[in-house]
């Protein structure tokens, strides 16, 4: 499965950087910057596929399913980063968006040799986390051929879960049998084979889109405001007040009062102000609208 690496775009040598070790610091960072400029255009070529992935994720989460990211090395760490940002940004439960990395949590900071080479480990992780047909699994692999990811996707497919592949090579092995294949081809890396560079940047951009667009479609955003943000510290409590101010046009003092009445929940506070509803009524309206402020406001327009 790992033979012929030289045929992968991500493993090919970068002609313009053959004398990389002879360059000055300024020349190195200029060349890196030039390469990074290519990433957004490569992502742009896959926007249709990324949008399809969003639709698959939204359908699963609306059906009480969960989103799983699965990867090894840098790809696994990027999945963990994206998943860990969902609860504070969108008020999701830690169970809604989860990330698994080959070798387990310790692999986040230290490589676990050989873990990514085990397809069975990927399958076992799917079973251990109770993946069901309601869930969606995103397999992340720059090369597109990581055995751990392939095993996880195959197990998820056997279970009946929806699957999405995210790689940086065309016709990646992890694409096989997936519902959506996202292949962001950024070309050879400046440092040959170091996919934490352009490939990592491309994967980070795609994951940002998958999670953020999905949460927007699920109603966890009002306008461009993070109305589901949780006020778990002073900074975030102040953010809740600013969100209420921006969402309703009230003063800081009024927003502070509304936040208190709504138990720190920006959505409830905004709906209370815009409709004149009590806290209990606002919460009921939101529940009936599945958490979507705009839908909850429809009877009042």
Residue 120: both structure tokens together: 């069975």
276 dihedral zone (left: phi>0; alpha: psi -120 to 50; beta): left
Q: Given the residues 116, 155, 189, 256, select the one marked as catalytic.
A: 116
CB distance 248 to 270 below 8 Å: yes
Distances in whole angstroms, Cα of residue 244 to Cα of each of 52, 110, 138, 200, 269: 32, 42, 34, 36, 7
Residue 24: both structure tokens together: 């000055």
CA–CA gap between residue 222 and residue 168 (Å, rounded): 33
CA–CA gap between residue 10 and residue 276 (Å, rounded): 57
The residues, ordered by sequence, that sit 6+ positions from 39 with a Cβ below 8 Å of its Cβ are 184, 186, 198, 201, 202, 205
Instruction: Clarify whether 85 is annotated catalytic.
Output: yes
Element (H, E) at 164: strand 162-167
Instruction: Clarify whether 34 is annotated catalytic.
Output: no
Q: Given the residues 11, 55, 85, 281, select the one marked as catalytic.
A: 85
Q: How many CA atoms lie within 13 A of 61 on its CB side?
A: 26
Residues catalogued as catalytic: 85, 116
């Amino acid at each position: 499965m790992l033979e012929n690496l030289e045929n992968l775009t991500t493993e090919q040598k970068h002609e313009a950087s053959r004398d990389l070790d002879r360059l000055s610091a300024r020349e190195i960072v200029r060349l890196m910057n030039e390469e990074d400029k290519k990433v957004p255009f490569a992502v742009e070529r896959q926007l249709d596929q990324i949008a399809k992935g969003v639709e698959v994720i939204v359908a699963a989460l609306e059906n009480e399913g969960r989103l799983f990211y699965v990867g090894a090395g840098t790809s696994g760490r990027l999945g963990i980063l994206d998943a860990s940002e969902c609860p504070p940004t969108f008020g999701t439960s830690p169970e809604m968006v989860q990330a698994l990395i080959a070798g387990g949590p310790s692999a986040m900071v230290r490589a676990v040799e050989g873990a990514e080479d085990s397809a069975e480990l990927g399958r076992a992780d799917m079973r251990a986390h109770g993946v069901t047909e309601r869930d969606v699994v995103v397999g992340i692999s720059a090369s597109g051929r990581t055995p751990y990811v392939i095993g996880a996707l195959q197990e998820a497919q056997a279970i009946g879960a929806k699957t999405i592949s995210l790689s940086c090579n065309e016709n990646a092995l992890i694409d096989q049998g997936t519902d959506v294949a996202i292949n962001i081809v950024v070309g050879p890396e400046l440092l040959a084979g170091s996919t934490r560079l352009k490939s990592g940047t491309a994967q980070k951009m795609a994951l940002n889109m998958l999670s953020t667009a999905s949460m927007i479609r699920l109603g966890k955003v009002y306008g461009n405001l993070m109305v589901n943000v949780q006020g778990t510290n002073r900074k975030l409590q102040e953010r809740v007040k600013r969100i209420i101010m921006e969402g309703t046009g009230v003063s800081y003092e009024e927003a502070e009062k509304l936040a208190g009445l709504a138990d720190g929940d920006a959505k409830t506070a905004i709906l209370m102000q815009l409709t004149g509803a009590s806290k209990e009524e606002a919460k009921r309206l939101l529940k009936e609208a599945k958490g979507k402020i705009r839908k909850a406001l429809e009877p009042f327009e």
